[in-house]
Amino acid sequence: MKFLSFFISRLGKALVVVLGVVIINFFMIRLAPGDPAAVLAGQAGTGDATYVASLRAQFGLDQPLLVQLWLYLKGVFQLDLGFSYRNHVPVLDLILERLPATFLLMSCAFLFSIVFGVLLGVIAARARYNNKRRWIDSSVMTGALLLYATPLFWLSLMGILLFSVLLGWLPAFGMESVGAGLTGWARAQDIATHLILPTVTLGCFFMAVYVRLTRASMLEVIGMDFVKTARAKGVSPNRVIRTHVLRNALLPVVTFAGIQLGQMAGGAVLTETVFAWPGIGRLMFDALLQRDYQLLLGIFLVTSVMVVVFNLLTDLLYRMIDPRIAAGSQEASA
C-alpha cells in the first residue's frame, strides 16, 4: 500500500507537469515568428490576402488565443493532437509512425553509454585505488574528457567521413538500404549496420559522463568504513567491489540515467538530422522549418511525456535499489 501511495503521488505530479508543459509549449509556439498560413501561401506561389485569410480560418488561427488553447487541450484529452497541414495526415499517426525509430536509437545509445561508461568507470576507479596502475586511470579519464568536450555534430561528421567515406565500413545515412527489399534476419542486420554510427555518436557524450560519475562514486564508497570492515573480514577484492562498492556507487548513476534519457530525446534531433534517421527528431526539425504548429506541439507533447515517464521510472528504480528511501518515507509517514 505504501508503494502504491508513492506511485500514485508521483503519477499525479507527473500529470501536472505534463499539463504545464503543454500550456507553455502552446504559448511559446504562438510567440515564435512566422505564420503557417503565410508559409503555405508562399509555397503555393500566391500572396493574396484573401487566400491567406482563408487558410488561417481553415487552421483555426483566426480565433482568439485562449479559444485556440482550449480547443487544443480538449483535443489532447481526447488523444487528438490535430492535423498536419503540411503532411496531410493526423499528427498522432505521423508521430506514431516515426516513434519506433527514435526509441530504437535512444535505447541503443542509452545501453551503449551506460554499459561502457560504468565499465570504464569501474576500471578507472580500481586502477586509481591500486597505485601501480594509475596510468590506466589517467588514460580512461583523458579519453572521457575528450569525448565530453567534443561537439556532437563534429563527432557525427567525423564518423561519417572516417567510417563511411574513407573506409567504407558503415553506411552514412538512413535507417536501412533503400530499394534493397530485405526481409527477416537480413533486414535486421541491415538496420543494425545503419544503427552503429548514430548510436555511438549519440552515446559517447553520455558515456563520458558515466565514466567520471562512476569513478568518483566508487572512490568515495571505497573509503567508507563498511568497505574496510568487509576487507578486514577477508572478503575477496572482487566481491567487495561487486557487492559492496558498486551497488552503492550506482545510486547517483541511476539518478543521472533518468535525466540522461530526457536529454537524449533532445540530442536525437541533431543526430537524426545529420544521419537522416527517420525519427521524431528529424520530424521536429522539418516541422520547425515548415511552421507546422500542430505537428510541433504534438512532438513536444510526446517528448515531454517521455521525459516525465523516464523520471517516474527512475524514482521507482531508485526506491528499489536503495531500501533506505522506502524506510525513510515510512518513518516520515509515521
For 244, which DSSP code? Answer: I
| pLDDT per position as a tens digit, 154-213 | 888 888 888 888 888 888 887 777 776 777 788 888 888 888 888 888 888 888 888 888
304 grid coordinates: 515531454
Q: Distances in Å between the alpha carbon of 154 and those of 59, 225, 271? A: 39, 45, 11
Which three cell numbers, joined as nine digits, stand for 65? 488565443
Cα atoms in the 13 Å half-sphere on the side-chain side of 200:
16
CA distances from 41 to 62, 83, 285, 289, 292 (A): 16, 18, 21, 15, 13
Give the tens place of pLDDT for each residue, 261-288.
Answer: 767 766 677 788 788 888 887 788 778 7
DSSP secondary structure of 164-193: IIIS--S--SSSS-TT----HHHHHHHHHH
Write the CATH number of the domain with boundaries 92-326: 1.10.3720.10
Cell 537480413 maps to which residue? 186
Sequence spans of domains, the chain? 1-91, 92-326
65 CB-contact burial (10 Å; exposed 0-12 / middle 13-18 / buried 19+): exposed
Q: Which of 2, 69, 5 is nearest to 31 (CA)?
A: 69
Is the separation of the CB atoms in 206 and 144 below 8 Å? no
Write out pLDDT tens, residues 105-117. 888 888 898 889 8
